[in-house]
């Protein structure tokens, strides 16, 4: 059921971020890449601060640092000089250029400027320079993220050269989730190219020396071979193939595409394992079958604590769809599923993931801010909230109910980069977190101080 | 071979003692250098942000508002409207057809909903380009709503953070002089450039109260619109963080003849000196004030000195790096570290002026690296060269320190621990101590190698 929110003109406490932030995050997952924002200095700095507070890792994002003069005469010279400076300092294999409101509004054509740059400095040992248009006056960080990944496949992938590695486009998930996906593929004995892969770059070890660019990320040669892959797996029910990397490889290079939801919870994870079984011709490896079994065992052990509890879910659309799938199958009633995203596909996705579970589907709000979310949530008597940490003060604390922190950003807890969401293992971690949040609340609220729950 | 320090950056780095300092500062950041600076909008936003009963509406696309939502630890003793993030969330059609109507409607809606005492409307990059007449929309909204609606000319690309400070000062100056000054004590001040992070303004207000000085407006921390409107009735402006609010003090001096003092509440000497100079300012009208101030300083020092000397025993001889927004804080931190027996080996700021850097060079130990508008790779090189034990900065610098296996102290706007006043000096010492003396550093690969080298040297001796 899609409810049209009150048509407020103003936005209060946005439930989304801007496009270039998503692009910068995506570029962080390519080996040797430096993200470069073509715009004013503030954008890069603000986003760095925002991302660092979540991952607690160095996040260097370069900027063309445009000033008033460049806003009038065009930012081309600064862009080119900036890339040269990044080359000197970072020796990158890839520079990922994303535009901003400023450069989109003055009409800088980043694709053309990058082509000019490559021609002008053809005598230098140039990195791969990818450009993506990410005006912030439309869409959210997720559009920026997917646009950057699509731009990479569009601009870097060369002629099909057969490879056994399957492509996996996970979307915006945690470094821990990425590591788990790799492990799953390894156990299926399946070679895989995950794009982007910031599992090391945004959750790196302590080393002897400071790295200009942290180790890790999807290697450029592997990206080049993506057109020759036997199949692509792409997560995101609200992602349109005509805007996605998987869609591009399918139409342009005929790579078979498995479009799946983010594998959150039992059923969405089953869909992933079914796809992997089909691709590899192998049954689900024993350790994952066992994990599935333990997940079901936990579902049973914990079901009564959760039965009938009412939850508000918010965040990026695909995350919201995945979490709604999960909550609906463990007996928690999702009463509100909300997102600042505006793909137009959220309510359909929610209906699909809730379809097989009896009960009323949640209210779905698209393109909303926290003001709308709180206004709707009040009347729905929720018991818990699940989403990023931005809903803590204005929503969970306001209503006096627990917040289970997932996704991005988590600015008020430790270990955000290691949060698990995906696969049977991720579902188990989420399940434990939800049950324990409910138990903690009832224990804290009780005068008895029960020692057994 | 990579080049950590780009040729064009070399004139913004100086080593104390190596000839006269002539640092090229207040420049636009170099493209591709990964500056730690933000933009004009950021400068305005941070200064006005703590005015807690005003509506702060960001006219622009969503990012500018989203990244500044509740990011500062500026506490309020009452309303908390400043902790919400308001935006016009401009979309493509607004960019094409103009955003004035959307802005007017958003203002109407938000003023009705929150009944603020005033509204600040921040301009962002694209507003400066699509030609919205912000002032006209604000004037009309003020007439309709009956509250001051003030345009802040903070287009991100029109200069650096300092330009944003100036835009904020101009915006506040529109409020100054519009309130009733009846009943204000002759011994009265305004507190400028203190942001009440972790309740620091309250500490300073308490000191002033004990000295017998009335605070009319703490303009930039726990700020209130009505206080600012009548703050021209105060006898003196106490200006900290000079970059941010010095212009407002100058404008008030010119128009209202209000004197100002540049002060700092960080560290022992600067805190005491600020109070003494304030007392001296009022001693003609209140001869007892100096004695009261002395008593206050003494009683506060007695509370912290024994503990500080205990901390010093563990910290003696350690080195620190300081990289902060404004240079003024860096002066105080160099002195504060000396009380802990520590030496500042690297010091820099995002927005220092030539005078700031001259003073830094004068008070720094020889060989100290002084840097304007640095970036992660430069900072990491300097840290390695100088072998520092702790980095003082903001969240953006924290991972640089931690990846290099050294301690960190957040002295920026997100801090949750009061670091101003005498009690703040102790808190600072405790924070430095907590980080520097943690056992975790001995397991860090870089430091482990260091200590192995050191023990070899000892053996060789």
d(C-alpha A1, C-alpha A206), whole Å: 48
Instruction: Give the residue from A8, A11, A42 with the most B CB atoms within 10 Å of its CB, the best one to mutate.
Output: A42
Q: Is A11 in contact with B109 (Cβ distance < 8 A)?
A: no
In this prediction, residues B336-354 reach a mean pLDDT of 93
Taking the Cβ of residue A47 and every Cβ of chain B, the question of whether any pair is shorter than 8 Å is answered with yes
Residues ≥6 apart with Cβ < 8 Å to A101: A39, A135, A136, A137, B60, B61, B63, B95, B124, B125, B126
d(C-alpha B231, C-alpha B370), whole Å: 37
Chain A partners within 8 Å of B125 (Cβ): 39-40, 71, 100-102, 105
The domain B316-415: what is its CATH number? 3.40.50.1980
Q: Is B157 in contact with A71 (Cβ distance < 8 A)?
A: yes
pLDDT value at residue B1: 40
* Fold (CATH) for B40-174: Rossmann fold (3.40.50)
Residue in chain A closest to B376 (alpha carbons) equals A60
**Which domains, from first to last, does chain A contain?**
19-138 (3.40.50.1980), 166-280 (3.40.50.1980), 286-445 (3.40.50.1980)
Q: Distance (Å) from the C-alpha of residue A297 to the closest C-alpha of chain B?
A: 39
Q: Is A85 in contact with B31 (Cβ distance < 8 A)?
A: yes
Residue in chain A closest to B382 (alpha carbons) equals A210
Q: Is A67 in contact with B158 (Cβ distance < 8 A)?
A: yes
Residue A377 to residues A16, A329, A366, B27, B394, Cα–Cα distance (Å): 18, 21, 14, 48, 36
pLDDT value at residue A299: 98
Chain A partners within 8 Å of B382 (Cβ): none
Chain A partners within 8 Å of B65 (Cβ): 11, 14
Sign, Cα dihedral of A36, B398, A174, B87: negative
Q: Distance (Å) from the C-alpha of residue A389 to the closest C-alpha of chain B?
A: 12
Enumerate the domain spans of chain B.
40-174, 188-300, 316-415
Q: Is B395 in contact with A49 (Cβ distance < 8 A)?
A: yes
Q: Is B156 in contact with A63 (Cβ distance < 8 A)?
A: no
In this prediction, residues B405-412 reach a mean pLDDT of 94
Chain A partners within 8 Å of B446 (Cβ): 207-209
Residue B19 to residues A66, B23, B243, B353, B361, Cα–Cα distance (Å): 33, 12, 26, 18, 10
DSSP-assigned states of every residue in B62-118: HHHHHTTTT-S-B--SS--GGGS-EE----HHHHHH-SHHHHHHHHHHHHHHH--SE
Q: Distance (Å) from the C-alpha of residue B434 to the closest C-alpha of chain A?
A: 18
Q: Looking at B295-354, which runs of residues are DSSP E strands?
A: 319-324, 343-349
Q: Is B125 in contact with A40 (Cβ distance < 8 A)?
A: yes
Q: Is A10 in contact with B160 (Cβ distance < 8 A)?
A: no
Chain A partners within 8 Å of B156 (Cβ): 40-43, 102
pLDDT value at residue B433: 98
Residue in chain B closest to A409 (alpha carbons) equals B67
Q: Is the pLDDT of residue B19 over 60?
A: yes
Q: Is B3 in contact with A88 (Cβ distance < 8 A)?
A: yes
Q: Is B84 in contact with A36 (Cβ distance < 8 A)?
A: no
Helical (H) or strand (E) element with B435: helix B421-436
Q: Is A208 in contact with B449 (Cβ distance < 8 A)?
A: yes
Q: Quick check: do B188-300 and B316-415 share a fold?
A: yes
Instruction: Give the residue from A45, A215, A372 with the most B CB atoms within 10 Å of its CB, the best one to mutate.
Output: A45
Residue in chain A closest to B397 (alpha carbons) equals A58
Q: What is the pTM of this model?
A: 0.95
Taking the Cβ of residue A121 and every Cβ of chain B, the question of whether any pair is shorter than 8 Å is answered with no
Chain A partners within 8 Å of B124 (Cβ): 101
**DSSP character at residue A447:** S
Please state which of the four CATH numbers 3.20.20.80, 3.40.50.1980, 2.60.40.10, 3.30.1380.10 is assigned to the domain occupying B188-300: 3.40.50.1980
Nearest to A138 among B28, B65, B92 (CB): B92
Q: Is the pLDDT of residue B3 over 60?
A: yes
B74-95 residue pLDDT tens: 999 999 999 999 999 999 999 9
Burial pattern A183-221, b for ≥16 Cβ within 10 A else e, equals ebbeebebebbbbbbbbbbbbbeeeeebebbbebbbebe
Q: Is B32 in contact with A48 (Cβ distance < 8 A)?
A: no
Taking the Cβ of residue A10 and every Cβ of chain B, the question of whether any pair is shorter than 8 Å is answered with yes
Q: Distance (Å) from the C-alpha of residue A155 to the closest C-alpha of chain B?
A: 22
ipTM exceeds 0.90, yes or no: yes
Chain A partners within 8 Å of B394 (Cβ): 49
Nearest to B2 among A36, A90, A394 (CB): A90
Q: Is B129 in contact with A210 (Cβ distance < 8 A)?
A: no
d(C-alpha A45, C-alpha B41), whole Å: 12
Nearest to A206 among B2, B90, B445 (CB): B445
pLDDT in 10s for each residue of chain A, 453 residues: 555 555 789 999 999 999 999 999 999 999 999 999 999 999 999 999 999 999 999 999 999 999 999 999 999 999 999 999 999 999 999 999 999 999 999 999 999 999 999 999 999 999 999 999 999 888 999 999 999 999 999 999 987 789 999 999 999 999 999 999 999 999 999 999 999 999 999 999 988 888 999 999 999 999 999 999 999 999 999 999 999 999 999 999 999 999 999 999 999 999 999 999 999 999 999 999 999 999 999 999 999 999 999 999 999 999 999 999 999 999 999 999 999 999 999 999 999 999 888 888 899 999 999 999 999 999 999 999 999 999 999 999 999 999 999 999 999 999 999 999 999 999 999 999 999 999 999 999 999 989 999
Taking the Cβ of residue A20 and every Cβ of chain B, the question of whether any pair is shorter than 8 Å is answered with yes
Q: With pLDDT > 70 as the criterion, what percentage of chain B qualifies? A: 97
Q: What is the distance of C-alpha A242 from the center of its chain?
A: 18
First to last CA, chain A: 36
Residues within 8 A of B (CB atoms), A 147-166 only:
none
Instruction: Give the residue from A41, A45, A51, A316 with the most B CB atoms within 10 Å of its CB, the best one to mutate.
Output: A41
Taking the Cβ of residue A374 and every Cβ of chain B, the question of whether any pair is shorter than 8 Å is answered with no
Taking the Cβ of residue A242 and every Cβ of chain B, the question of whether any pair is shorter than 8 Å is answered with no
Give the residue from B319, B292, B315 showing the smallest Cα distance to B438: B315
Q: Looking at B3-53, which runs of residues are DSSP E strands?
A: 13-15
Nearest to A81 among B32, B41, B444 (CB): B32
**DSSP character at residue B343:** E
Q: Is A8 in contact with B129 (Cβ distance < 8 A)?
A: no
Q: Distance (Å) from the C-alpha of residue A429 to the closest C-alpha of chain B?
A: 27
Q: With pLDDT > 90 as the criterion, what percentage of chain B qualifies? A: 80
Contact A38, A108 (CB under 8 A): yes
d(C-alpha A112, C-alpha B68), whole Å: 33
Mean model confidence pLDDT for chain B: 93
């Amino acid at each position: 059921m899609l409810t049209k929110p009150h048509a407020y003109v103003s936005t209060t406490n946005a439930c989304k971020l801007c496009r270039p932030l998503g692009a910068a995050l995506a570029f962080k997952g390519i080996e040797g890449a430096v993200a470069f924002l073509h715009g004013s200095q503030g954008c890069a700095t603000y986003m760095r601060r925002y991302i660092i507070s979540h991952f607690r890792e160095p996040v260097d994002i370069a900027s063309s640092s445009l000033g008033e003069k460049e806003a009038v005469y065009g930012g081309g010279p600064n862009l080119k000089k900036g890339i040269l400076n990044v080359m000197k300092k970072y020796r990158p294999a890839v520079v990922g250029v994303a535009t901003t409101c400023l450069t989109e509004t003055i009409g800088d054509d980043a694709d053309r400027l990058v082509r000019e740059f490559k021609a002008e400095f053809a005598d230098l040992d140039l990195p791969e320079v990818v450009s993506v248009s990410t005006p912030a006056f439309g869409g959210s960080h997720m559009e920026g993220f997917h646009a950057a990944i699509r731009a990479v496949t569009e601009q870097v992938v060369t002629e099909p050269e057969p490879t056994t590695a399957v492509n996996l486009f996970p979307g915006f998930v945690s470094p821990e989730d990425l590591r788990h996906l790799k492990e799953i593929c390894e156990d299926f004995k399946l070679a895989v190219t995950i794009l982007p892969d910031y599992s090391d770059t945004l959750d790196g070890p302590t080393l002897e020396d400071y790295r200009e660019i942290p180790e890790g990320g999807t290697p450029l040669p592997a990206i080049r071979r993506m057109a020759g892959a036997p199949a692509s797996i792409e997560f995101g029910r609200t992602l349109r193939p005509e805007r996605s990397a998987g869609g591009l490889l399918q139409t342009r290079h005929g790579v078979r595409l498995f479009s799946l939801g983010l594998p959150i919870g039992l059923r969405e994870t089953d869909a992933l394992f079914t796809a992997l079984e089909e691709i590899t011709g192998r049954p689900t490896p024993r350790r994952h079958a066992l994990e599935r079994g333990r997940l079901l065992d936990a579902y049973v052990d914990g079901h009564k604590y959760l039965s009938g509890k009412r939850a508000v879910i918010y965040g990026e659309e695909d995350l919201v769809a995945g979490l709604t799938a999960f909550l609906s199958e463990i007996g928690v009633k999702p009463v509100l599923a909300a997102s600042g995203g505006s793909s137009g596909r959220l309510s359909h996705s929610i209906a699909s993931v809730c379809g097989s579970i009896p009960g009323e589907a949640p209210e779905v709000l698209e393109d909303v801010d926290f003001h709308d979310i709180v206004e709707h949530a009040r009347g729905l008597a929720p018991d818990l909230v699940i989403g990023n940490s931005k809903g803590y003060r204005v929503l969970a604390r306001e209503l006096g109910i627990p917040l289970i922190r997932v996704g991005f950003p988590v600015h008020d807890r430790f270990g955000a980069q290691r949060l698990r969401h995906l696969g049977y293992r991720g579902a188990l971690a989420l399940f434990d977190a939800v049950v324990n949040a409910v138990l903690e609340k009832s224990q804290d609220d009780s005068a008895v101080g029960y020692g057994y729950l | 071979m990579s080049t950590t320090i780009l040729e064009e950056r070399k004139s913004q780095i100086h080593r104390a003692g190596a000839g006269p300092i002539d640092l090229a500062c207040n420049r636009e950041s170099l493209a591709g250098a990964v500056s730690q600076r933000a933009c004009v909008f950021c400068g305005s936003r941070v200064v006005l942000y703590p005015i807690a009963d005003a509506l702060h509406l960001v006219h622009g696309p969503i990012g500018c508002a989203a990244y500044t939502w509740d990011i500062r630890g500026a506490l309020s003793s009452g309303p908390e409207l400043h902790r919400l993030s308001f935006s016009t969330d401009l979309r493509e059609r607004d960019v094409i057809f103009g955003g004035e109507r959307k802005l007017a409607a958003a203002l109407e809606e938000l003023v009705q909903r929150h009944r603020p005492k005033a509204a600040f409307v921040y301009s962002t990059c694209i507003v400066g380009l699509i030609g919205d007449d912000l002032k006209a929309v604000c004037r009309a909204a003020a007439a309709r709503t009956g509250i001051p609606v003030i345009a802040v000319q903070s287009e991100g690309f029109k200069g650096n953070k300092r330009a944003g400070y100036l835009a904020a000062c101009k915006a506040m100056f529109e409020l100054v002089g519009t309130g009733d000054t009846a009943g204000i004590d002759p011994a009265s001040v305004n507190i400028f450039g203190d942001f009440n992070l972790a309740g620091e303004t309250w500490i300073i207000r308490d000191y002033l109260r004990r000295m017998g000085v009335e605070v009319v407006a703490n303009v930039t921390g726990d700020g209130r619109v009505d206080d600012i409107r009548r703050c021209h009735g105060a006898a003196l402006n106490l200006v900290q963080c000079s970059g941010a609010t010095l212009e407002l003090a100058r404008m008030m001096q010119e128009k209202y003849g209000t004197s100002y003092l540049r002060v700092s509440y960080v560290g022992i000497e600067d805190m005491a000196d600020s109070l003494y100079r304030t007392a001296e300012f009022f001693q003609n009208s209140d001869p007892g004030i100096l004695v009261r101030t002395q008593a206050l300083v003494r009683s506060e020092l007695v509370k912290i000195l024994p503990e500080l000397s205990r901390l010093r025993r563990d910290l003696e001889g350690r080195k620190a790096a300081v990289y902060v927004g404004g240079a003024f804080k860096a002066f105080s931190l160099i002195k504060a570290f000396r009380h802990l027996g520590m030496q500042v080996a690297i010091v820099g700021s995002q927005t220092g002026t030539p005078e700031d850097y001259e003073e830094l060079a004068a008070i720094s130990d020889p060989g100290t690296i002084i840097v304007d508008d640095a970036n992660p790779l430069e900072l990491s090189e300097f840290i390695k060269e100088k072998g520092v034990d702790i980095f003082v900065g903001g969240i953006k610098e924290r991972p640089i320190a931690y990846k290099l296996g050294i301690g960190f102290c957040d002295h920026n706007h997100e801090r949750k621990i009061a670091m101003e006043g005498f009690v703040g000096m102790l808190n600072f010492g405790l924070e430095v101590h907590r980080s520097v003396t943690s056992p975790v550093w001995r397991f860090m690969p870089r430091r482990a190698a260091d200590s192995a080298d050191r023990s070899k040297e000892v053996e060789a001796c």
